[in-house]
Structure 1
Amino acid sequence: MVVMAFEVFPSGRLILQIVKMKMFSVAHKTVFVVDHCPYMAESSRQQVECDVLTKSRAQGVIPLAPVSKSLWTCAVECSMEYARILYDVYPTDKLINYIVSDSEFHILNTWRQENQSTHELMSALAAVGPPNPREDPECCSILHGLVSAVESLCKITELQHERRTSLMDTAERVANRGRIICLTNAKSDTHVRMLEDCIQETILEQNKLAAGSDRLMAIQKCDLVLIHIHPQGEEPLVSDRIKKEISPLLTSEVHSVRAGRHLATKLNILVQQHYDLASTTITNIPMKEEQHANTSANYDVELLHHKDAHMEFFKSGDLHMAGSSTRENGLKETVTLKWCTPRTNSIELHYCTGAYRISPTDVNSRPSSCLTNFLLNGRSVLLEQPRKSGSKVISHMLSSHGGEIFLHVLNSNRSTLEDPPSISEGCGGRVTDYRITDFGEFMRENRLTPVSEASHNPSGKLPAERAKAQLERYTRYWPMIISQTTIFNMQAVVPLANLIVKETLTEEDVLTCQKTVYNLVDMERKNDPLPISTVGSRGKGPKRDEQYRIMWNELETLVKTHAGATDKHQRVLDCIIACRSKPPEEEERKKRGRKREDREDRAEKNGSKEPEDKSWQESERLKGLVEKEEPESEVIKDSPDSPEPLNKKPRLMIEEVQPPERAKGPVSLLTMWTNRITTANSRKHQEFNGRVSSVNNKFELYQQLKDENGMDVHENGKATR
């Protein structure tokens, strides 16, 4: 079923939307054509043991010989299982027409609802009886049944008639599709192609007849499923073939299957494929043994139902956690659910998101019979997902209503019947800063409203297409969390953000956007703070220039998503790119600002900011005092009239008194101050005379004794003549 997305359209388009909802799928009509020719009486060669009490048999009693079913019996049993599953899951809107073909065709039921039951079909098949092996094979053919099947598909069902009468003048828009399942023993691949050609010609002839009749409908689509049945131990004469399109009206697929359990398995798989069914296996069902009433054993029961019962598994990707296992050569999967102890309180209600009819795969087995009887007596069974660790999750429930058993899908998450969670809690209770106010404004700007036929421009887009296009533009870049965006938290960017999402821009809009960009440039020049989120970061967050870099990157990302719309959108992007390219003096100013911020950050890291400011001011004051004293101490004289001493030490540069470690790394403030004081003091006294008169860094002691006595004085202090 197609859901209408928009209810208000021009009248012609409204009817078109309704017609799409009345289209019938291929699964609405299914015609079974079973071959009743003499060769179908051949044995399937699958042995069935009738005497199973071999140990308790009395002596002298001859055991019963095993029997084997005929190809006809295998075809009838498997087709009846197909019909039983279909009627269990779809009791009303999926129909079956059963036809037997030998020397002529035999229609066993009609499309009327009262004829749609396995009891009706089994009674008709009993009247037909098994095929006569002595009948002339030349007079029998499967073609009689196939031609009758095409004619049956052209007949109108009750549901189709209801749709045709409700649509009045558009009755021809009701689709007529169907499927033909043919069970036969074909001779070769050439025989199969001949059958396909015959069906194709019959469809064309019947469509011509239906064009001039009110009681018939032309066939728009027909699927042919031809199943070649051959005894076990024989090589198949027909090869398998996947679905192939013979013509726009006919598709065909061929299956070559051995009779017996292989045929039953094949039809079980086909019924799941044709009607979107899925399999669930209930495990650990406790049942008492018949022979030992005091003991119990655990059994498994497989159920078929619509695949939507497993939709939550497919969405969440937990199908493997639910015990999904592959069976029958990997063609189908079954989901394993574990039996929970049933609760006797029938008053308790469970919140269900869906209820689907079920059908046991092996309806005649003892575990299936016990389970269905248990449920039909008014009991309910909870089913849980088998898990290796963690708490159990109850996902489904089996319960009966009105004599029919349903598989209920339980909501394992928060129930909508409870108080809804506050949006401030966030998803999972972790995200709390959603842009709730902005999202409300977003919904108001993109609200759908009815439009009149006069407002629709035939040469332009439909209102629905325009609405989708606007929604796509508004959501190209729309952060959901406050901490993930900067520009949407700034009032200065609002004019540009509101205009850039428009489909077309005017010259005035372009000027407004450019003015917004220039305002941001002015804010950056003034070094104004930005609303940068500090969630997940330590300290104050990124530096000021890093904040603006983040802002410009996000703004450019927003405009780039719309730059390809028109040339005016591109002009806005070019303006942003031009403003981001700063002159060299601006970069120098930014570097100075970064140094100042680094100094402030170090102050906060080492302690309060005020002590560092005071120490810096004190060092500057001392530096000023030293600079004032330096001019007075450049020349030192003994008296106002004395000349400048010859041994006065020349003025030393700062580099000469600094330690050699200066070039290796930073110097502390104390070292700088000590070096400065040492340099100043070295200029305030007369140099030591010995340091001036020394020869090769050596000074002769007792020089006055040598001058008075004419004696030579050695280094050891002894005099010599």
Structure 2
Amino acid sequence: MKMFSVAHKTVFVVDHCPYMAESSRQQVECDVLTKSRGQGVIPLAPVSKSLWTCAVECSMEYCRILYDIYPLDKLINYIVSDSEFHLLNSWKRDCQSTHELMSSLAAVGPPNPCEDPECCSILHGLVAAVESLCKITELQHEKRIALMDMAERVANRGRIICLTNAKSDTHVRMLEDCIQETILEQNKLAAGSDRLMAIQQCELVLIHIYPQGDDTLVSDRPKKEVSPLLTSEVHSVRAGRHLATKLNILVQQHFDLASTTITNIPMKEEQHANTSANYDVELLHHKDAHMEFIKSGDLHMAGTSTRENGLKETVTLKWCTPRTISIELHYCTGAYRISPTDVNSRPSSCLTNFLLNGRSVLLEQPRKSGSKIISHMLSSHGGEIFLHVLNSNRSTLEDPPSISEGCGGRVTDYRITDFGEFMKENRLTPVSEASHHPAGKLPAERAKAQLERHTRYWPMIISQTTIFNMQAVVPLASLIVKEALTEDDVLTCQKTVYNLVDMERKNDPLPISTVGSRGKGPKRDEQYRIMWNELETLVKTHAGATDRHQRVLDCIIACRSKPPEEEERKKRGRKREDREDRADKNGGKDVEDKSWKDAERRVVDMAKSVPDKEDQESEVIKDSPDSPEPLIKKPRLATDEVESPEGAKGPISLLSLWTNRITAKSRKRREFIGRARSVNSKFELYQHLKDENGMDVHENGKASR
């Protein structure tokens, strides 16, 4: 039933009634040479197309794109409806061309505005469209003959695109009911005929066209299912460029097309032959041409941008220097036909003529930094232009990369050994479905369930896990993934948790990865916090299985909540580690600072050891030279009474302590007699010389009378 999709048959029904001769009111300028027009020449008045002309042009553009990309297996049947229906072509391959359709439309001519509108109706064309869908195409006939007894597997699906000017939403529902009744009638006729096929699915796309400036009488409606055989959607569109945009979007949606815009195409100017300018050309093709971008997640890097309509996106690729050789075809992974969006524009015409002359053009992804990546190539074969997808990563002709090399050369620390053990634990073996299975599940279902449990939390990279690198966690990790736990299993898991608590108490190191971090990595308590978080994440993914799984999780949560004295001990441990880290970073500098701090502490202790008694008795000073030094009353050196050099009370500096100490010691000795008799801090030498000789001694050593 999936052999032919809805896209295999498309029937266009265009309204040819008198009201379609109404103007679309979109002005088209005919006289564009305003600067070269001579004086006295009256400019041509602008003209406007009719609704019929807009419908025909847009539908022909739809057909042109479809024939360019799918020249064989996608067929179109064109019907014009007025007082009767006019079938312009058939499902035969010879009739599938825009030239055939344009010739038939020229014979039909524009609608006659003087014709009686009561005699004209779009229903004639819709009924003929359903009858046409029941006819067998050449491809369907070939498949039916090839299958013979299984001919019923050949499906018959189709799409009807109706371009009309509806009266209201009620009129639209009436058209849908008419199509539904016609499908049921035609299916009854097809049941007893070899030349007809019953319709399994039909899609109706009704496009209501109205002039610019008028209010629409029909509301838009997304696709909905009218019956199991019919789905319908309604689009209300203004005539002119809005209708062309809508049909461009619909052709992409109906046939899985995507858009690529080629930028920076150098072209010579017509008026200035020596100069060139860069142009952009938009191409339509099958969406598989962008599949490499989608798989690798680089679609945003390929210059994806939204166009004016805001509904479809285009991928931007940059023009490269043309190549005359086709060696790049050896690395091609796909080729898709293209169709220019604006086929009549000068840039599109120049590009197609350039490619049809046998030239090939490489296209690169626009990147802000790094080397350029050639991802596509435009080339023609047999008069048709194809967009080739080039493998920009590794050639498909080469051997696949080894897993030890890493994915793209970025990651190399995969858990290869653990993955091998994982595959051994989840091997599939042939078994009879009638074998005994306690859970009441088939062996394949049990295998899928086991694989799902084992992969709920399974890091692929060594540096992204801690518990799977610890031998102490292996018993718990291997038991927690079981579908049901026994009491012994719960005790084993709890014992594993207690062992981890004991490791944390002893401050044992953990296998924490330091990849991407500076220094030694996280602190010891941070390492255990990471380990406990990961272990809790693993057990939480299985805690809802049974109550025993939940008991293991409760044990982990209880062990993580430490008493206050344990937290205080951890804080002291962190302070000690910080001091050790500072000592490792600063080297001998901290040792020297520590010695100064010790000296300062000793001075403070010595200062505090001085007696504080103010009334300490002093001994009698003896005049004999052999007597010991007199004891002078010692000052009190309280730290809170000593002022800093600035005069403000506060902590005592080392210099103040040392100065006070020296002053206290100096007071224990007898004052020098010369300093006591000095005048202006100067002691006069040879005091008796003047009295003996009657001479006055000056400072320069010379005597005077």
8 Å CA contact 2:433–2:443 kept in 1: the answer is no
The residue number in structure 2 matching 1:538 is 519
Aligned with 1:102 (options 65, 82, 91) = 82
Deviation at 1:565, TM superposition (A): 0.9
Q: State whether structure 2 residue 479 is matched by structure 1 residue 489.
A: no
CA gap 1:668/1:207 in 2 versus in 1, 3 angstroms = farther
Deviation at 1:358, TM superposition (A): 0.9
The residue number in structure 1 matching 2:617 is 697
Q: State whether structure 2 residue 367 is matched by structure 1 residue 356.
A: no
Instruction: Please give the residue correspondences for 1:380-419 in structure 2 after superposition, counting only pairs within 5 Å.
Output: 380-387=360-367, 391-415=371-395, 417=397
SS in 2 for 1:363: coil
CA gap 1:287/1:461 in 2 versus in 1, 3 angstroms = farther
Deviates more, 1:586-595 or 1:172-181: 586-595
Aligned with 2:186 (options 194, 203, 206) = 206
Taking structure 2 as the reference length, what is the TM-score of the superposition? 0.72
Deviation at 1:82, TM superposition (A): 0.7
Q: Which amino acid in 2 is paired with 1:280?
A: T
The residue number in structure 2 matching 1:238 is 217
Deviation at 1:513, TM superposition (A): 4.0
Instruction: Please give the residue correspondences for 1:243-392 in structure 2 after superposition, counting only pairs within 5 Å.
Output: 243-245=222-224, 247-248=226-227, 249-290=229-270, 293-312=273-292, 322-349=302-329, 351-387=331-367, 391-392=371-372
Q: Which amino acid in 1 is paired with 2:619?
A: F
Taking structure 1 as the reference length, what is the TM-score of the superposition? 0.70
SS in 2 for 1:409: strand
The residue number in structure 2 matching 1:27 is 7
Aligned residues: 618
The residue number in structure 2 matching 1:629 is none
Deviations 1:271-323 (A, max 9, x none): 22322323323233233345654444433322112234344555667666545
- Partners of 2:401 and 2:274 in 1: CA distance: 50
- Partners of 1:585 and 1:33 in 2: CA distance: 85
Q: Which amino acid in 2 is paired with 1:697?
A: E
Q: Which amino acid in 2 is paired with 1:227?
A: I
Aligned with 1:179 (options 155, 159, 165) = 159
Aligned with 1:194 (options 160, 169, 174) = 174
SS in 2 for 1:337: strand
Instruction: Please give the residue correspondences for 1:416-565 in structure 2 after superposition, counting only pairs within 5 Å.
Output: 417=397, 423-424=403-404, 426=406, 431-447=411-427, 454=434, 466-507=446-487, 509-510=489-490, 512-514=492-494, 516-517=496-497, 530-535=510-515, 536=517, 538-539=519-520, 542-543=523-524, 551-565=531-545
- Partners of 2:569 and 2:238 in 1: CA distance: 88
Deviation at 1:406, TM superposition (A): 1.6
Q: Which runs of 5+ in 2 are unaligned?
A: 625-705
CA gap 1:489/1:163 in 2 versus in 1, 3 angstroms = farther
Instruction: Please give the residue correspondences for 1:160-175 in structure 2 after superposition, counting only pairs within 5 Å.
Output: 160=140, 175=155
8 Å CA contact 2:328–2:390 kept in 1: the answer is no
8 Å CA contact 1:243–1:251 kept in 2: the answer is no
Deviation at 1:559, TM superposition (A): 2.3
Q: Which amino acid in 2 is paired with 1:197?
A: D
- Partners of 2:418 and 2:50 in 1: CA distance: 73
SS in 2 for 1:144: helix
- Partners of 1:326 and 1:584 in 2: CA distance: 59
Deviation at 1:33, TM superposition (A): 0.7
- Partners of 1:241 and 1:56 in 2: CA distance: 46
- Partners of 2:153 and 2:209 in 1: CA distance: 38
SS in 2 for 1:478: coil
SS in 2 for 1:269: helix
The residue number in structure 2 matching 1:80 is 60
CA gap 1:702/1:82 in 2 versus in 1, 3 angstroms = closer
- Partners of 2:621 and 2:338 in 1: CA distance: 125
Q: State whether structure 2 residue 72 is matched by structure 1 residue 92.
A: yes
Deviation at 1:32, TM superposition (A): 0.5
CA gap 1:173/1:450 in 2 versus in 1, 3 angstroms = farther
8 Å CA contact 1:346–1:379 kept in 2: the answer is no
8 Å CA contact 1:156–1:215 kept in 2: the answer is yes
Deviations 1:103-128 (A, max 9, x none): 22232333343433223323433444
- Partners of 1:275 and 1:163 in 2: CA distance: 22
- Partners of 1:62 and 1:702 in 2: CA distance: 140
- Partners of 1:277 and 1:697 in 2: CA distance: 111
8 Å CA contact 2:166–2:218 kept in 1: the answer is no
- Partners of 1:35 and 1:90 in 2: CA distance: 26
- Partners of 2:564 and 2:575 in 1: CA distance: 17
Deviation at 1:395, TM superposition (A): 3.2
CA gap 1:26/1:595 in 2 versus in 1, 3 angstroms = closer
CA gap 1:459/1:523 in 2 versus in 1, 3 angstroms = closer
Q: Which amino acid in 2 is paired with 1:74?
A: C
Deviations 1:540-571 (A, max 9, x none): 9744x776665455434322321221233234
SS in 2 for 1:345: coil
Q: Which amino acid in 1 is paired with 2:221?
A: I
The residue number in structure 1 matching 2:688 is none
Deviates more, 1:411-420 or 1:298-307: 411-420
Q: Which amino acid in 1 is paired with 2:230?
A: L
SS in 2 for 1:279: strand
Deviation at 1:506, TM superposition (A): 4.0
Q: Which amino acid in 2 is paired with 1:239?
A: V
Deviations 1:607-632 (A, max 9, x none): 89xx9xxxxxxxxxxxxxxxxxxxxx
- Partners of 2:33 and 2:105 in 1: CA distance: 32
CA gap 1:465/1:345 in 2 versus in 1, 3 angstroms = same
- Partners of 1:283 and 1:669 in 2: CA distance: 76
Deviations 1:656-715 (A, max 9, x none): xxxxxxxxx99679959x99xx99xxxxxxxxxxxxxx98513345699xxxxxxxxxxx
- Partners of 1:272 and 1:470 in 2: CA distance: 43
Aligned with 2:102 (options 117, 122, 147) = 122
8 Å CA contact 1:456–1:462 kept in 2: the answer is no
Deviation at 1:519, TM superposition (A): 5.8
CA gap 1:297/1:599 in 2 versus in 1, 3 angstroms = closer
- The root-mean-square deviation of aligned C-alpha atoms, in Å, is 4.9
SS in 1 for 2:619: coil
- Partners of 1:355 and 1:514 in 2: CA distance: 60
8 Å CA contact 2:3–2:155 kept in 1: the answer is yes
- Partners of 1:59 and 1:602 in 2: CA distance: 91
8 Å CA contact 1:105–1:148 kept in 2: the answer is yes
The residue number in structure 2 matching 1:643 is none
- Partners of 2:501 and 2:269 in 1: CA distance: 86
Q: Which amino acid in 1 is paired with 2:278?
A: N
Deviation at 1:417, TM superposition (A): 4.7
Q: Which amino acid in 2 is paired with 1:338?
A: K
Deviation at 1:147, TM superposition (A): 0.9
CA gap 1:555/1:54 in 2 versus in 1, 3 angstroms = closer
Q: Which amino acid in 2 is paired with 1:476?
A: R
Deviation at 1:438, TM superposition (A): 1.3
CA gap 1:542/1:164 in 2 versus in 1, 3 angstroms = farther
